[in-house]
Structure 1
């Protein structure tokens, strides 16, 4: 355990499509949270996500300078993980294998989160301080049965809002006076994409693939669709259009022409039947997936936890409580804890509570050999 008397000062970096969220933490306390905006014209000049790194680094350093901070003021740097192959959850020290996978997008998905490890390592290398990623999007702790499909050689993958899901579970376990790895939870992230996950004694043993078109319908995602209907749609419209519906142009966007959940809810309340049907169908599907995760946990559920931006809707929370509270108590955590989660993961390692994991670059699952 560390004998440090003052809280660790940690810089957290969460790159997004049009901005980079930056957080300065002293222990659990957020001292500065800033959204560093990026002009679309500036981003368009770069050939690929990784080429944006110097540009984003300069803007982050400028924002820190305006706050009277410099890199030497920090004990550690944490970046949002991205572009990695599947790995167990936890806090990882950034190494050369991770950097290379982040640079190229080894998981086949190009996303600004790839810049998280690269920027954190760049800053750390200038100061001799450690750098980490915490529960990146490719966290995969599925049990073997959750991977199976009825087609030989085709397996279920998992892409979830792992960072926020795990942090919500860790925080709720603390309110119960119990460690996360002694609890069973169903944890949901309900935002532009929707993740529903079963947490068995600290492991996410099942959940939906939000990248692969699985789970509930969401504002920008189609959710689960019968396989034969997807095949027909792809034959008519092309694979790229079908793939886009899984991640960007499905759900409310395709059905109603908007990704704004507040607008959809307001339209439904004003008598728009199509909006009401889409809103109610989304909640119906969320509840159905919660029920599936309850079966995965064999009914031994300590709580159903709801996080994400749409959980600000009291109507949505009430509807889920009406359907699912017979399984376990429902608790709402509106918004997200992504910056806090990254800082907490780093501090647990710095305090010696956890040991930093090593990213091997080998996926956790490549198929069954028997």
Structure 2
């Protein structure tokens, strides 16, 4: 390994900044800073306007832990929405940053995170890395086509956690990841249901664009005719409609909360609508698992549930009721993105994985 010592890891979400400092594998400090109630945060009209705000938070965190930026030897950021990539560890370079800024492939705060990492690393003369970006593309041709000419399904999902859980699941089963067939379901604000076939995600829904099951803040697949009526009704702007697909759709639009614990509280209090909507989400997840089983020709070694909602016994038991006949179900609750970023970065710096160049 290179003389690695102090590692800064950043993971920028829509309303949070997650930061961690490691000395090799020892965690020195880790914090999630929430921005929902921050008045300054809500003055930004675009995520790229947040650059200085987010960077100061990151720099202040390093200082608060008794270090200077000059003490850092490596910076790692969650990956940005850029063009299709292979799985693995990448150096954050100028081409990646410019593609993130272009918004051509999507627009997400993790693009700002990659840019901050790249800029600080450049100023210090050190390396900036990212691991298993959301735009990893291993889809088979059959998974790409739609019924519209020149409109294709895109591979965009929670790849960082999906791939990490895939490797953990394979180890638990006594297999190599490249030998395993599994269905992995990431359940957070959005959902991704992925068919992992011998080391590659050959089919997965794109929850950002409204594909797949309903989620706490995403609408999931909608009847296209109703969407067209809404689009041409004159009642909504494009940003308003898009927010109803991603950000303010799904459970949030129907029940007014994105918090699964609040929904389950409503159900406990006898709220019939909350129960029907939540059970419908579970049903849609189960149907997607069934579809993924078909893509694997029924040869499924295991099903894994991960993400924040995998802590919910209500959801886990509901999915099990529908799907346990397909394969044994394993739980890997939480997102564990910081740990996955660290592991991938160390694998790259150790030479266990190649450090790839984005072009």
Confirm or deny a common fold (TM above 0.5). yes
Alignment partners' CA distance in 1, 2:179 and 2:24: 24
1:252 corresponds to: 251
Residue 266 of structure 1 aligns to a residue whose secondary structure is: helix
1:168 corresponds to: 165
Alignment partners' CA distance in 1, 2:147 and 2:125: 50
1:368 corresponds to: none
1:338-349 mapped onto 2 (5 Å cutoff):
338-349=337-348
Q: Structure 1 residue 45: deviation in Å?
A: 5.2
Distance 1:176 1:10, change over 3 A: farther
Distance 1:8 1:174, change over 3 A: farther
Moved over 4 A (4+): 44-47
Gaps of 5+ in 1: 361-370
CA contact under 8 A between 2:162 and 2:184: conserved in structure 1?
yes
CA contact under 8 A between 1:49 and 1:114: conserved in structure 2?
no
Deviations 1:35-62 (A, max 9, x none): 2455743335556333432332222122
2:319 corresponds to: 320
2:183 corresponds to: 186
1:68 corresponds to: 66
Alignment partners' CA distance in 1, 2:256 and 2:289: 27
2:95 corresponds to: 97
Give TM-score, length-normalised by structure 2. Answer: 0.92
Distance 1:12 1:282, change over 3 A: same
CA contact under 8 A between 1:234 and 1:241: conserved in structure 2?
no
Residue 143 of structure 2 aligns to a residue whose secondary structure is: helix
Residue 97 of structure 1 aligns to a residue whose secondary structure is: helix
Q: Structure 1 residue 29: deviation in Å?
A: 4.1
CA contact under 8 A between 1:36 and 1:63: conserved in structure 2?
no
Q: CA RMSD in A?
A: 2.0
1:110 corresponds to: 107
Alignment partners' CA distance in 2, 1:29 and 1:318: 35
Alignment partners' CA distance in 2, 1:29 and 1:171: 20
Bigger drift between 328-337 and 16-25 goes to 16-25
Bigger drift between 334-343 and 231-240 goes to 231-240
Bigger drift between 155-164 and 50-59 goes to 50-59
Alignment partners' CA distance in 1, 2:314 and 2:291: 22
CA contact under 8 A between 2:100 and 2:107: conserved in structure 1?
no
1:1-370 mapped onto 2 (5 Å cutoff):
2=1, 9-38=6-35, 40-44=38-42, 46=44, 48-107=46-105, 109-236=106-233, 237-238=235-236, 239-360=238-359
Alignment partners' CA distance in 2, 1:151 and 1:18: 35
Alignment partners' CA distance in 1, 2:19 and 2:312: 27
Distance 1:173 1:25, change over 3 A: farther
Residue 63 of structure 1 aligns to a residue whose secondary structure is: helix
Distance 1:323 1:273, change over 3 A: same
Alignment partners' CA distance in 2, 1:29 and 1:295: 42
Bigger drift between 285-294 and 296-305 goes to 296-305
Distance 1:10 1:183, change over 3 A: farther
Residue 298 of structure 1 aligns to a residue whose secondary structure is: coil
Residue 41 of structure 1 aligns to a residue whose secondary structure is: coil
Alignment partners' CA distance in 2, 1:75 and 1:174: 30
Alignment partners' CA distance in 1, 2:99 and 2:42: 23
Distance 1:180 1:70, change over 3 A: farther
Answer 1 or 2: higher relative contact order, Cα 8 Å, separation at least 6: 1
Deviations 1:102-133 (A, max 9, x none): 223231x3321111211111221233221111
Bigger drift between 33-42 and 313-322 goes to 33-42
Count residues with an aligned counterpart: 356
Bigger drift between 19-28 and 286-295 goes to 19-28
CA contact under 8 A between 2:194 and 2:205: conserved in structure 1?
yes
Deviations 1:7-53 (A, max 9, x none): 75421111123331111234444331122455743335556333432
